Amino acid sequence: MLSMSEYAGPMVQTGSSSIIASDQDQENSWVSGSRRGDTRSFNRLVLKWEKTIYNIAVRILQDREEAAEATQEVFLLAFKSIRRFRGDSKFSTWIYRIVLNHCITRVRQRPPGTHLPLEREHESTNPPPQLRVPENQAGDLLRLEQRNRVLGALVHLSPEQQAVIELKFFQELTFEEIAAILEVPLSTIKSRLYSGLEMLKIRLGTEA
């Protein structure tokens, strides 16, 4: 087991003083180490990202046990393929793509009619940030709704719509970043977002 000192970020010498490198520099060093086969570096990436990846999986899969299983599978996939990660994009872009593709595949493989709503509050996930889309006033709708009603309504969207809403609202990414992660045109991202918001509006309206 690593000591706390071993988790400290890499130090950069500046004259007689030392400063902790930025989080991004630290992550880049872990990625580089992982590509060389350093399992300790990869474990540090897991420690940094496992909660975020699990929360994404919970919201899309709507089942905690399946989400935990999917999270393990995502990091196994990442570990097996990280040597092929060229670094053309951020590690976050790459790991988001893996978890979303994996969860969408799981949803599509379910028998027709399968519905797995979370019975209790999403206490194991972080409270979502204010759901805001400056580009569209429909975001005001989501700011006014109870968290659990919004999360419960997400299950009625297509996996592709869920992925866009997850990245836009919960991960607070830009349209351009989302398009890069999902590898689809910007216009498609916006279409999926607005159609998903409209469906949420209808769903939440019927539940009001």
- What is the CATH number for 107? 1.10.1740.10
Largest CA distance in the chain: 65
How long is the chain?
208
Which residue among 119, 140, 163 closes a domain? 119
Which band of pLDDT confidence, cut at 50, 70 and 90, is reported for residue 146? low
Q: What is the distance between the alpha carbons of residues 193 and 189, in angstroms, rounded to a whole number?
A: 6
User: Do residue 24 and residue 52 come from a single domain?
Assistant: yes
User: Do residue 111 and residue 171 come from a single domain?
Assistant: no
Tokens at residue 190, please?
Answer: 């916006």
Which residue among 68, 94, 119 closes a domain? 119
DSSP 5: G
Q: What is the distance between the alpha carbons of residues 102 and 35, in angstroms, rounded to a whole number?
A: 21
In a domain, 4, yes or no: no
Neighbours of 132 (CB within 10 A): 14
User: Do residue 86 and residue 138 come from a single domain?
Assistant: no
In a domain, 7, yes or no: no
User: Do residue 90 and residue 166 come from a single domain?
Assistant: no
Least confident of 6-15, 68-77, 98-107, 172-181: 6-15
Residue 202: which CATH number? Answer: 1.10.10.10
Q: Which amino acid is at 2?
A: L
Residue 75 has, within 13 A of its CA and on its CB side, a CA count of 21
In a domain, 11, yes or no: no
In a domain, 8, yes or no: no
User: Do residue 85 and residue 161 come from a single domain?
Assistant: no
| pLDDT tens digit sequence for 42-94 | 999 999 999 999 999 999 998 999 999 999 999 999 999 999 998 788 999 99
Tokens at residue 4, please?
Answer: 């706390």
User: Do residue 115 and residue 24 come from a single domain?
Assistant: yes
Strand partners, 14: 17
User: Do residue 74 and residue 141 come from a single domain?
Assistant: no
User: Do residue 108 and residue 190 come from a single domain?
Assistant: no
The domain tally of the chain equals 2
In a domain, 15, yes or no: no
**Contact between 29 and 17 (Cβ < 8 Å):** no
Domain span at residue 166 reads 127-208
Instruction: Kindly give the interhelix angle for 39-61 and 64-81, rounded to the nearest 10 degrees.
Output: 140
In a domain, 75, yes or no: yes
Kind and range of the H or E run holding 42: helix 39-61
In terms of Cα–Cα distance, which of 125, 145, 128 is closest to 206?
Answer: 145
Is the pTM of the predicted complex or chain greater than 0.85? no
pLDDT at 152 over 80: no
User: Do residue 114 and residue 156 come from a single domain?
Assistant: no
In a domain, 5, yes or no: no
User: Do residue 88 and residue 149 come from a single domain?
Assistant: no
User: Do residue 114 and residue 26 come from a single domain?
Assistant: yes
User: Do residue 80 and residue 131 come from a single domain?
Assistant: no
| pLDDT tens digit sequence for 42-56 | 999 999 999 999 999
Which residue among 66, 86, 119 closes a domain? 119
**Contact between 179 and 193 (Cβ < 8 Å):** no
